[in-house]
Structure 1
Amino acid sequence: KKRIGLAVSSTFIATPLESILADKPEDVFAKISEIIKEHSVGKIVLGMPLNMDGTESGMTKEVRSFAGEIEKRLQIKVDFADERLTSRDAQSKLALSEKNWRKRKKKIDSAAACLILQNYLDRKK
């Protein structure tokens, strides 16, 4: 099952949230809407899946479409951040703290989302 990793930030520090299953679009948008309200989110940053050479990948169009739906349905600005290697980096960091593979697998998407958001915040300083 596809999962969507989530993270929120204060001004400068990203914090992972529990990931959500991407089974039903209505459930995904409802959960994102809930998080926007709960955490007073002002902008959403989506990881942009690029190829290693920086060109757009096959998933890029899907992410742009998802961003458009978020903006339309939830009336919030969406920005993008390069997500290359974030899953691998998140997996490496989680391996140090979480030895159980099943538990680690559940956390990987949000850990990657946290890295994506933190990189985005660091670039904006």
Structure 2
Amino acid sequence: MQTLLGFDFGPRKIGIAVGQLLTRSATPLTTLRSRNQQPDWPSITALIQEWQPAALVVGLPFNMDDTEVDWSPQVYRFARQLHGRFGLTVHLVDERLTSIEARHQLAARPGSRPPTREAVDALAAALILETWLCEQS
């Protein structure tokens, strides 16, 4: 089974999920906070060593009018850094509305409390990864 990691990149936090190509499903793992405006590379490295993914998927944020958000260059930079540091293929996928859907799914759980930003970001990463997995034929 090919394992992949998915990333919901944000300037302050990065949600991360793990998924399988065979099942085309993903599970939220964690949300990492940036340190000094840099991704938490030691924690990302540890996750990549633990899960040994075949590839990585990063969500690319778009506005509803199909234009990229103003901080898209940071997402492209993060994707290039992932590829450069780990030598893995990095796929970019439209992440439009994934955080809203994640918030909705978490709020719909029976007996749930208002979802934390960390839970939303990790679930958004899983939704981003599942979007990419479902696009594969």
Matches within 5 A, 1:19-34: 19-24=31-36, 25=38, 28-34=40-46
Deviation string, structure 1 residues 45-100 (Cα, Å, up to 9, x no partner): 11001111212221211100111111112222211010110000000000012632
Question: Number of residues paired by the alignment?
Answer: 123
Matches within 5 A, 1:12-91: 12-24=24-36, 25=38, 28-91=40-103
Match of 1:32, SS state, is helix
Identify which of 89, 92, 104 aligns with 1:92. 104
TM-score by length of 2: 0.82
2: CA distance, partners of 1:9 / 1:92:
21
User: Could you say which residue in structure 2 is the equivalent of 1:3?
Assistant: 13
Q: Tell me, which stretches of 5 or more residues in structure 1 are unaligned?
A: none
2: CA distance, partners of 1:66 / 1:106:
19
TM-score by length of 1: 0.89
How far is the alpha carbon of 1:9 from its aligned partner? 0.7
2: CA distance, partners of 1:54 / 1:117:
20
Corresponding letter in the other structure for 2:81: E
Structure (1/2) with the larger strand percentage: 2
How far is the alpha carbon of 1:17 from its aligned partner? 0.3
Percent of counterpart pairs with the same letter? 33
User: Could you say which residue in structure 1 is the equivalent of 2:5?
Assistant: none
Q: Tell me, which stretches of 5 or more residues in structure 2 are unaligned?
A: 1-10
2: CA distance, partners of 1:19 / 1:28:
10
The answer as to whether partners of 1:94 and 1:104 remain within 8 angstroms in 2 is: no
The answer as to whether partners of 1:29 and 1:70 remain within 8 angstroms in 2 is: no
How far is the alpha carbon of 1:112 from its aligned partner? 0.5
How far is the alpha carbon of 1:28 from its aligned partner? 1.5
